[in-house]
Amino acid sequence: MFKRIISILFVLSLILTMPIYAAEFPTKEVQIIIPWAAGGATDLIFRALAATTGKYLGKAVIVVNRPGGAGAVGYTEAAQAKPDGYTLVSAITPLTILPHQVKTAYTYKNFEPIINVVRDPGMFLVRSDAPWKSLKEFLDYAKKNSDMITVGNSGAGGGVHLIALAFEKTAGVKFNHIPFAGGGPSVTALLGGHINAVSVSPPEGIEHVKAGKLKITALFAEKRFELFPNVPTVKEQGVDFVMGQWRGLAAPKGTPPDVIKKLHDAFKKGMEDPAFIKNAKDMVVNLSYLGPEAFGKLMAHDDEFYGKLVKEIKK
């Protein structure tokens, strides 16, 4: 009797763990590795996109957070994942930054570009009751009190950290940069008044700007936000600085081209879905579609740009 039960269990365990080979991709759900904590900008955008893409792909798209090491943990894992199209990774600006700063097990070349979804400007938020009424007051204070204004970021060497570093270089000031484990925690610390400002990109903190708790003190965009037409860009105010981040999807190197194409087509439809467009609008993210080739070029260009920037900063 028990022997039989055990043999049944044994056979069952073999069946359940057997890899399923099938001609048609996808035969199971596709997972997107987010190398940042849940609740940050990248996480929110890809969760919304995963929701609308599922029905076009025919299988659910699942978001998995692998935060830590400024993205290195998630990217290392993704670079070494099986290139079968079932494990994707959110390719965002830091993918082309971190490999210049520390020795990583990957560069952007370890990934196949699929699609770019979002290009967002960077911005600095401060509390509404902050003493600085304008960008000029903020920068004047920073000039007089070098290294005193604490600016939170979502992780050392991450995209918004570099934006803050590049901005202080252009503006001729110096901030005290504090790393947090993602955009959520850094905005929380700003709300609680534990730091003076935070370097983020939408949608982080937008709800609090709408509610009047935080305000945008510096916007590094080409043009103003539709949602906040009264907030001028820093360029309008005489600081020639425009910088932002892109967020797209990539697969491990070696993923078959037809699988990439299927994924690209499904995610493109997911991007065009009215539900996603509405979500993106609510989150104040700037949708910007790029196909695999154009996205690959963008990555290559930025990899070179950040390589130079990091070298200059290190000097």
Partner 1 sequence: MVESLQHLMNGFGIAATVQNLLYCLIGCIVGTLIGVLPGIGPIAGIALLIPATFGLNPTSAIIMLAGIYYGAMYGGSTTSILLNVPGETASVITCIDGYRMAQKGRAGPALAIVAIGSFIAGTIGIFGLVFLAPPLAEAALAFGPPEYFSLMVLGFIVLSNVTGKSLLKSLMMAIVGLIIGTIGLDPVAGDARFTYGSVSLLGGIEFVAVAIGLFGIGEVLVNVNQPSEMLDQGVLMPRLRELYPSLQDLKKSIGAILRGTVSGFAIGLVPGPAPVIATYASYMIERKVSKHPEEFGKGAIEGVAGPESANNSACQAAFIPLFVLGIPFAPPTAILLGALLIHGVNPGPLMISQHAGLFWGVIASMYIGNFMLLILNLPLVPLFANILRIPKRILLPLVILFCITGMYTVNNSVFDIWMMLLFGAMGFLMRKWAYEGAPLLLALVLGPKLEVAFRQSLMISHGDFGIFINRPVSMVFLLATVIFLIGPVIWLMFKKTKKGGILRVKS
Looking at the Cβ atoms of 28 and 301, the one nearer to partner 1 is 28
The residue count for binding partner 1 (CB under 8 A) is: 64
Question: Any contact of residue 9 with partner 1 (CB under 8 A)?
Answer: yes
Looking at the Cβ atoms of 126 and 290, the one nearer to partner 1 is 126
Question: Any contact of residue 39 with partner 1 (CB under 8 A)?
Answer: yes
Q: Least distance in Å: CB of 239 to partner 1? A: 26
Question: Any contact of residue 181 with partner 1 (CB under 8 A)?
Answer: yes
Of residues 245 through 304, those in contact with partner 1 by CB under 8 A are: 275, 278-279, 282-283
Question: Any contact of residue 185 with partner 1 (CB under 8 A)?
Answer: yes
Q: Which region, judged by CB under 8 A, interacts with partner 1, from 210-218, 222-230, 241-249, 294-302?
A: 210-218
If DSSP states are collapsed to H, E and C, what string results for the chain?
CHHHHHHHHHHHHHHHHCCCCCCCCCCCCEEEEECCCCCCHHHHHHHHHHHHHHHHHCCCEEEEECCCHHHHHHHHHHHCCCCCCCEEEEEEHHHHCHHHHCCCCCCHHHEEEEEEEEEEECEEEEECCCCCCCHHHHHHHHHHCCCCCEEEECCCCCHHHHHHHHHHHHHCCCCEEEECCCHHHHHHHHHCCCCCEEEECCCCCHHHHHCCCEEEEEECCCCCCCCCCCCCCCCCCCCCCCCEEEEEEEEECCCCHHHHHHHHHHHHHHHHCHHHHHHHHHCCCCEEEECHHHHHHHHHHHHHHHHHHHHHHHC
Q: Least distance in Å: CB of 235 to partner 1? A: 28
Question: Any contact of residue 178 with partner 1 (CB under 8 A)?
Answer: yes
Residues of this chain that interact with partner 1 (CB under 8 A) are 2, 6, 9, 13, 37-39, 43-44, 47-48, 51, 54-55, 60-66, 68-70, 72-73, 76-77, 80, 98, 101-102, 105, 147, 150, 155-157, 176-181, 184-185, 187-189, 191-195, 207-208, 210-211, 213, 275, 278-279, 282-283
